[in-house]
Structure 1
């Protein structure tokens, strides 16, 4: 099958109004992983690891609805992800809301099947514990690096006297399980009050690079992302974006908001700076529609998923020996892709 297949293009807003039709991620076709899909957009409607405000289980549905406003081309970079790789909405992982352990295994199996079929996943969560079973599938062949945008490290050891699996512990578990190489992890935007600093002590012990919000604002996103790229290098890397990294003035609909975050524009610039990395999977998590205001968090999340898709699609194309596709007319206006 050729790289470009019109059957995998989103429905045009000139053919069907964007408020009409059955919502899929970015109006893509709903397909199965065996249909030649190269990048699969997947929902994980589950928040069994939440310890504060719940509701992220409803995130995928809200993100799908908001994503109907996504169009074909990234106006800032001229990237055309739907023409670069075959993308599709692969539906939702069916979690078990009555069992955390069973849900984790269901998610792992779902993604293991995608990986076995050569599908690179872009996930809409769900709370941040969702990342752990995804990594168990994506990194089954060996540890990967990670660039992680968040207001929290999610490196705690346990909650409530020994409980090891919450949305505050996934990356500690992933390091312990050999899924993540801690010396190739960069966490960006960390801020807010804390418990006792145990997570930062662990990060320093194993070699995780933490960029707090003050450092990000002082140095600027370009300098921070240049360092992040140098740390993860040319090896495989996973990208995890917690919507609470964005300031709650622009993304209030999340479980654990922290004031003083980066803006949606800075978030876009940082994600765009990932282009050229060997991205093997990505997620956007912790959108909680019950706490949203006018759908602005869901729309921010859907827009950032499109930015992630642009860089993921380019990474997949490079692995397959193909060039990324840009909109040449727009590229000329921009003076060349950014």
Structure 2
């Protein structure tokens, strides 16, 4: 974007409704934004169905260049925004089928999807798609909760169980799953032990503060290697002071600056998909949560653009 602005450049509040005004179609697209507005698997607050459009609106204030990675994340990837999956609000299984179909369609074309949730149950659909295209995948999971709880009121499919279901379905290479930032009160010690029992690598907030993220990255690089990896980011990883618009708040988290530093250091992995979940716009009166989510999407696309740039060089 060059200054002074010409009359053809629209102001930030003029939008066609897509993320950063991206087109729906573009030749040689390597990244696609898609909304996954399903939230009726949430256990407390609902409203994440409204997040995709709120995140898209917040994206209007982002500039096209990423100064840390020195890439144009959307231009360099020919990124597109294919809109929202037409989920069924009261039927998680039909919604899973629809989301999985959309993600498979992108992955088979070599396009990396960036999903806008939705509650965290949506990630199971993306992992099902990923496993069908790539086989069992590695996963980098930022969250304050493990989401490996088995049932809730005897229901097996909810936003607290996607990763125990993914393990049961053989979608994950369990030794290559890293759950980062787990914190908060628990029902009992088994809440975290359950993830360890599945073979996952759990790094609590306390662990992360003691080790430093560089040590965690080093271990992830050793363990994950070139395995296809899905990165899922629950916005409640971030402290509520920086991201109040979410459903299950946990105090004692990381600032937005610390969070972006971590994401920006995750270079060189073989990413085949991303999502950002659990944003609830109605609890975000100043839009700082949606702006952070949009910035995280910008960073996800930058990681893909950087990989493309390095492959060319």
> Do the two structures share a fold, i.e. TM-score over 0.5?
yes
Q: Is the 2:69–2:302 Cα contact (8 Å) retained in structure 1?
A: no
In angstroms, what is the RMSD of aligned CA positions?
1.9
Q: Which whole-Å CA distance do the structure 2 matches of 1:13 and 1:176 have between them? A: 54
- List runs of 5+ in structure 1 lacking aligned partners: 1-8, 324-338
Question: Does residue 1:130 correspond to 2:122, yes or no?
Answer: yes
Q: Which whole-Å CA distance do the structure 2 matches of 1:36 and 1:77 have between them? A: 22
Question: Does residue 1:147 correspond to 2:137, yes or no?
Answer: no
Q: Is the 1:225–1:270 Cα contact (8 Å) retained in structure 2?
A: no
C-alpha change, 1:168 and 1:40, in structure 2 (3 Å) is same
Match of residue 46 from structure 1: 38
Q: CA deviation at 1:258?
A: 0.2
Residues 319-334 of structure 1: pairs in structure 2 closer than 5 A:
321-323=311-313
Match of residue 19 from structure 2: 25
Match of residue 165 from structure 2: 173
Q: Is the 1:243–1:287 Cα contact (8 Å) retained in structure 2?
A: yes
Q: Is the 2:107–2:272 Cα contact (8 Å) retained in structure 1?
A: no
Q: CA deviation at 1:194?
A: 1.1
Q: Is the 1:126–1:287 Cα contact (8 Å) retained in structure 2?
A: yes
Q: CA deviation at 1:172?
A: 0.8
1:128-150 C-alpha deviation (Å, 9 max, x unpaired): 00100011111213101011100
Question: Does residue 1:192 correspond to 2:184, yes or no?
Answer: yes
1:22-68 C-alpha deviation (Å, 9 max, x unpaired): 23112212337xx5422111111111211111011111010000011
TM-score (norm 1): 0.86
- List runs of 5+ in structure 2 lacking aligned partners: none
Residues 83-162 of structure 1: pairs in structure 2 closer than 5 A:
83-140=75-132, 141-161=134-154
Q: Is the 2:77–2:304 Cα contact (8 Å) retained in structure 1?
A: no
Q: CA deviation at 1:312?
A: 2.6
Match of residue 327 from structure 1: none
After TM superposition, the structure 1 stretch with the greater mean CA deviation from structure 2, 37-46 or 190-199, is 190-199
For these two proteins, the number of residue pairs brought into alignment is 308
Q: CA deviation at 1:187?
A: 0.8
Question: Does residue 1:306 correspond to 2:298, yes or no?
Answer: yes
Q: Is the 2:142–2:232 Cα contact (8 Å) retained in structure 1?
A: yes
Q: Which whole-Å CA distance do the structure 2 matches of 1:149 and 1:201 have between them? A: 17
1:81-117 C-alpha deviation (Å, 9 max, x unpaired): 2342210111111001131111111111111211222
Q: Is the 1:279–1:315 Cα contact (8 Å) retained in structure 2?
A: no
Q: Is the 1:120–1:316 Cα contact (8 Å) retained in structure 2?
A: no
Q: Which whole-Å CA distance do the structure 1 matches of 2:308 and 2:90 have between them? A: 36
Q: Is the 2:176–2:224 Cα contact (8 Å) retained in structure 1?
A: yes
C-alpha change, 1:13 and 1:288, in structure 2 (3 Å) is farther
Moved >6 Å (runs of 4+):
none
Q: Which whole-Å CA distance do the structure 1 matches of 2:216 and 2:110 have between them? A: 32
Q: Is the 1:44–1:92 Cα contact (8 Å) retained in structure 2?
A: yes
Q: Which whole-Å CA distance do the structure 1 matches of 2:222 and 2:259 have between them? A: 19
Q: Is the 2:15–2:60 Cα contact (8 Å) retained in structure 1?
A: no
TM-score (norm 2): 0.93
After TM superposition, the structure 1 stretch with the greater mean CA deviation from structure 2, 255-264 or 66-75, is 66-75
Match of residue 56 from structure 1: 48
